[in-house]
Amino acid sequence: MSRPYSLPSLTSLACFEAAARHNSFKSAARELNVTPAAISHQVKALELDLAQPLFRRQHRGVELTEAGAYLFVALQRGFTGISGAVREIRGRPDGEEVVVHATTAVSAFWLTPQISAFWLAHPDIVVSQIVSDIDPTEPRVDLSIHYGDVPGDGEDCRPLFRDGIVAVGSTAYARTHDMRGIADLTRAPLIHMASDRREWTGWTDWLATFGAGAPTGKRFTVNNFMIALQLAQDGVGAVLGWKTLIGSLLEQGSLVRLCPQEVVSPHVFYLRIHPRASPNARVFADWIATPSGDRTGVAADGAAVRDLSEGGSLS
């Protein structure tokens, strides 16, 4: 009798997901309480099973390949569904962790550093994430992060940040296509986001802001921003990105700005506080919606705290 699912070792998938989420075998090993060698062994076994590499091994760490990014997104969606079902079965006791929903990119590049800083100021409040690029349906979500116009229909929402949208690519891409200005972008390969959301700023609108014509170069289309960023790092094409979200990639040199122009984002990233949000969730909401420079206040237990997020936040 054939198996209903085409799956490799579940252990190898769990090790790969942790390594991809942390972008580090060592951090994954600490999370799973095993050795880095064990993580490396499981990942290599998975790569052998799939007959292609999932990571690029570099002296400064590891980076996902295109296949690795694709598998990572699929695993996170699957694990998110499993985690939600388990929480639903177990029930939620009083004082359980705050649950925040965010997209893969927002989680990796903005929310996770914010949570790390929050824990320094509020060590007794546990914050967990549901990472998914589809709208939250999990009933246990306290807070969720969205991109668009802040609703004015009575929902409890807080603006987080409005960003600049810039054109970025790899250094190899910039050199290969002799990037000197916006006009060069109209003829070069571009990575487009396929989305039914009108909030997204696409290449045609971005270029038109500066009087440039519609793009005529090779077109690559994906429906996930993390995969788009990975393709850009691989030199496949240029991509549009929010400066705050991709700040770490620019600092590392994984991506570079291809021209100095930028478009102010027409929408904001905002936090929605769900009706079932716990008191601890509202503490976190107040904290994360406050600019990092103003986060000097009172901790949950009444003790004075100072802002410990400076330098750890991309905002």
Contacts 24+ apart (CB under 8 A), 207-214: 207/182, 209/263, 210/182, 210/261, 212/182, 212/183, 212/185, 212/186, 213/186, 214/186
Are 188 and 174 in contact, with CB atoms under 8 Å apart?
no
Are 269 and 150 in contact, with CB atoms under 8 Å apart?
no
Q: How confident is the model at residue 157 (pLDDT cuts 50, 70, 90)?
A: very high
Q: pLDDT tens digits for 176-231?
A: 999 999 999 999 999 998 865 666 789 999 999 999 988 999 999 988 888 999 99
pLDDT-wise least confident of 6-10, 35-39, 56-60: 56-60
Q: pLDDT tens digits for 75-119?
A: 887 887 787 677 666 665 555 689 999 988 899 889 988 998 998
- The per-residue b/e assignment along 207-242, b for 16 or more CB within 10 angstroms, e otherwise, is beeeebeebeeeeeebebbbbbbbbbbbbbbbbbbb
Are 92 and 140 in contact, with CB atoms under 8 Å apart?
yes
Report for 133-137, 245-249, 300-304: range of highest mean pLDDT? 245-249
Q: For residue 253, with 0-12 CB atoms within 10 Å meaning exposed, 13-18 middle and 19 or more buried, which class applies?
A: exposed
**How far is 315 from 305, CA to CA, in rounded Å?**
20
Q: How confident is the model at residue 175 (pLDDT cuts 50, 70, 90)?
A: very high
pLDDT-wise least confident of 24-28, 34-38, 149-153: 149-153
| pLDDT in the model for residue 183 | 92
Q: How confident is the model at residue 170 (pLDDT cuts 50, 70, 90)?
A: very high
**How far is 297 from 308, CA to CA, in rounded Å?**
11
Q: pLDDT tens digits for 241-274?
A: 999 899 989 998 999 999 999 999 999 999 999 9
pLDDT-wise least confident of 92-101, 165-174, 281-290: 92-101
Alpha carbon 160 to its chain centroid, in Å, reads: 15
| pLDDT in the model for residue 301 | 37
Is the pTM value of this prediction over 0.75?
no
**How far is 86 from 80, CA to CA, in rounded Å?**
10
Over residues 169-175, the mean pLDDT reads 96
Please name the residue that has the structure tokens 């549901």. Answer: 130
Q: How confident is the model at residue 302 (pLDDT cuts 50, 70, 90)?
A: very low
- The per-residue b/e assignment along 144-165, b for 16 or more CB within 10 angstroms, e otherwise, is bbbbeebeeeeeebeebbebeb
Q: How confident is the model at residue 298 (pLDDT cuts 50, 70, 90)?
A: very low
pLDDT above 90 covers a percentage of the chain that reads 48
Q: For residue 202, with 0-12 CB atoms within 10 Å meaning exposed, 13-18 middle and 19 or more buried, which class applies?
A: middle
